[in-house]
Structure 1
Amino acid sequence: MEKGHSGSLPERVLKWIAGLGGQPVHVREIRRLPGSTSCSLYQVRLEDGAQSQDAVVRLYDNERWLSQEPDLAAHESEALIRSGLGRVSSPKLLGVDNDGRACGLPAVLMTMLPGEVILKPQDMHSWLGGLAEALAEVHAVPAGDFPWTHFSYTDIDALEPPVWTSRTDSWGKAVSFVKNSWPQYEPRFIHRDYHPANVLWLGDAVSGIVDWPNACRGPAGADVGHCRLNLAQLYGVEAADAFLQAYIDHAGASFTYHPYWDLLSLFDGLCDGPPQVYGGWAAFGMTGLTDRIVTERIERYQASLMKRLGGQQE
């Protein structure tokens, strides 16, 4: 077996991969993939006789995450199967070790999609439109009886204005709204972690969406809001607003915008502490951001959401 120089996998994982097919599969190359901040991802080159293919193996080695959601491997594998029911370009499931009995850790093996993450697009308008169209296709997948359902990452009942803001009155109004205004919604199949670093591109077209272990039935606005939060931090409010309009255009009558989901996504994004630069962005070439810049952009984004909320309540 040849191993690449930039990564390695435990022998028991390699043995598991080799035994998944009807005939022996050889792992010829291994490369750790950049950008993953929650668990370990590896690209592997699989050879089966005269054929070869690139695949991705995810090892769920984040103890905190596993303690909160011990069914992560099963969750992702079912999400990959469900996403395949629509027009979404998502990885195909090749194998799953739900409880880690074979690999030592829960693991998922899936096909590797072509393309690359682009965080510095040449044509921002077209790029945002592609992000929006791809998300609308996710939400068109039948949710059916998919067993995982949306929940908030933050304790809504315990919400308070963040300690780092000087705009406590405005944030206090946002807290009150989120605590008391949960809207009705039609459940959709949602990705639940949709943002630019989980979308692959070939040229100027989306070639795939990755990272599905959080997919669930829930409000489309949760996906829209999470992506808008990321766009606001990366580029500013204008990009977040342009994405929203593009999504509305692509989703059509199936989507009704409600600022609640933007605000809840904002609080979900802050549940682990003050704003900071997401570690995965630098791996894809997005450098130059600082915690201060991100904080200032979040403040402006929150102000824009309160303005939208005020307009809706008039």
Structure 2
Amino acid sequence: MAKGESTAAVRAAIDDRGWSRTRLWVEQALPPGRRIRAVATLRGGWTSEMRRLEVGGTQERGAQGGGTQEGEVQEPSSLVLRSFTKPFYVKHALGLLTREADILRFLDGTDVPAARLHAVDAAAEHCDHPSLVMSLLPGSVRLDEQDEQDVERKSQLLARQLAALHALTVPEADRPRTYEAWTGPERVRIPDDTKRPRLWRRAVDVIRRPAPAHRSCFLHRDFHPGNVLFTGHGAGLAISGVVDWVETSWGPADLDVAHCSTATALLHGVQAGMGLVVPYLAAGGTLSDDPADHLYWRLLDALAFAPDAEKVAVPWRDLGRSDLTPAVLTQRLEDYLQALFDQYG
């Protein structure tokens, strides 16, 4: 999880409301002499409450060879606490947080810039709410739109990172669950005031067919600019972290590319969303050779955002994108559907 722009000011006093048992559980898992000294709320999440925990304390016993001496205050370190508090996510927390914990353990031995797992209580046996504690990653979410070159640089980095994820070798015993579709032809909500109902119906008709045959690989499943952290600027821009692994799945690479492309189109416009495929393939990624199959996966993802992508827009607006109104998002989503048909239909 990010620090910096996505973090509220760290408070000196700890707010016990609603998480006193959780705080006690976290502190019991810390090394001797360490405790939570300050807490900050992290912004930008939608499914869960995120807190940054500043951990400090004193060394319990003297160290040899010039190390920290007894009673000396240790430098603070930072952790991130994710807690599910909304009823829907509390209901599904056991599967979601157990999956994220398993994935973080697996990724700890890879080059993927993911957080390190510290503790998990997916069933809320010790906490006020189902919770997971992990290390704080450097960098911040960058959803601002400086210029076309900035968007292009970020898109190239996203595409390369996604291709690297899909190329991971995962032993069968460590593979996550098979992917789940997030919408279906009977579940799509067409905008009430759309002026292009035929476009929507045409898109829904495409996903009425059975899922195309595909080669499965490791999927983040919710990979988009809001779940990626960046450091640096201009030519020095780099990805410093990938977060939110609760939906990790095993399935077609097309679906991960589709999800990142839809989100990019909503954030930065249709051209940016359509352009993600090029750097992804250039980075060694593999997609379906059949345009009709690729169109299926792209539409299956895009239609899950209907009618106005408000679900993702709320945290995006919290991070400064006040321009992403429901009307803007609906227009971009419709234009994106049309662009997909123009290129693949």
TM-score, length-scaled by structure 1: 0.89
Identify the residue that residue 45 of structure 2 maps to in structure 1.
Answer: 36
In the other structure, the counterpart of 1:300 is 335
Q: How many residues align?
A: 305
**Aligned pair partner of 1:62 in 86, 99, 105:** 86
Query: Over aligned residues, Cα RMSD in angstroms?
Result: 2.2
Q: Using a 3 Å threshold, how does the CA distance of structure 1 residues 158 and 278 change in structure 2: closer, same or farther?
A: closer
Determine if contact 2:93/2:123 at 8 Å carries over to the other structure. Answer: no
**Alpha-carbon distance, 1:217 to partner:** 1.0
What's the secondary structure of 2:230's corresponding residue? strand
| Structure-2 change in CA distance of 1:184 and 1:84 (3 Å) | farther
Unaligned runs of 5+ in 1: none
Match of 1:264 in 2: 300
Cα pair 2:141 2:229 within 8 Å, conserved: yes
Structure 2 counterparts to residues 66-85 of structure 1, below 5 A: 66-68=90-92, 70-85=94-109
Matched residue SS, 1:18: helix
User: Counterpart in 2 of 1:4?
Assistant: 11
**Identity level (%):** 28
How big is each residue's C-alpha offset from its partner over 1:219-265, in whole Å with a ceiling of 9 and x where there is no partner? 2121111111111111111101222211121134x333612111000
User: Which of structures 1 and 2 has the bigger CA Rg?
Assistant: 2
- The structural deviation recorded for 1:86 is 2.7
1-structure distance, mates of 2:14, 2:178: 35
Q: Is the 8 A contact 1:84 1:90 kept in 2?
A: yes
Is the CA contact 1:149–1:216 (under 8 Å) kept in the aligned structure 2? yes
* 1:141 paired to 2:148: no
The one-letter code matched in structure 2 to 1:28 is R
The aligned runs of 1:210-225 (5 Å cut-off) are 210-225=243-258
Question: Letter of the aligned partner of 1:283 in structure 2?
Answer: D
State the shift of 1:156 in Å.
4.0
Q: 1:161 touches 1:175 (CA, 8 Å); kept in 2?
A: no
1:120-168 Cα distance to aligned partner (Å, 9 max, x none): 2542221111111111122122343424221012234555755443322
CA separation of 1:6 and 1:22: change in aligned 2, threshold 3 A: closer
Instruction: State which drifts further: 134-143 or 182-191.
Output: 134-143
Give 1:16's match in structure 2, choosing from 25, 31, 34: 25
Question: What do residues 264-309 of structure 1 show as CA deviations (whole Å, max 9, x unaligned)?
Answer: 0012222xx4443711112322222221111111111000111223
Counterparts of 1:202-281 in structure 2 under 5 Å? 202-203=231-232, 204-252=237-285, 254-256=286-288, 258-270=294-306, 273-276=307-310, 278-281=313-316
Task: Tell me the TM-score normalised to structure 2 length.
Answer: 0.82
What is the SS of the residue equivalent to 1:13? helix
CA distance in 2, matches of 1:8, 1:131: 36
State which of 142, 147, 155 in structure 1 corresponds to 2:184. 155
Which sits farther off after the overlay, 300-309 or 158-167?
158-167
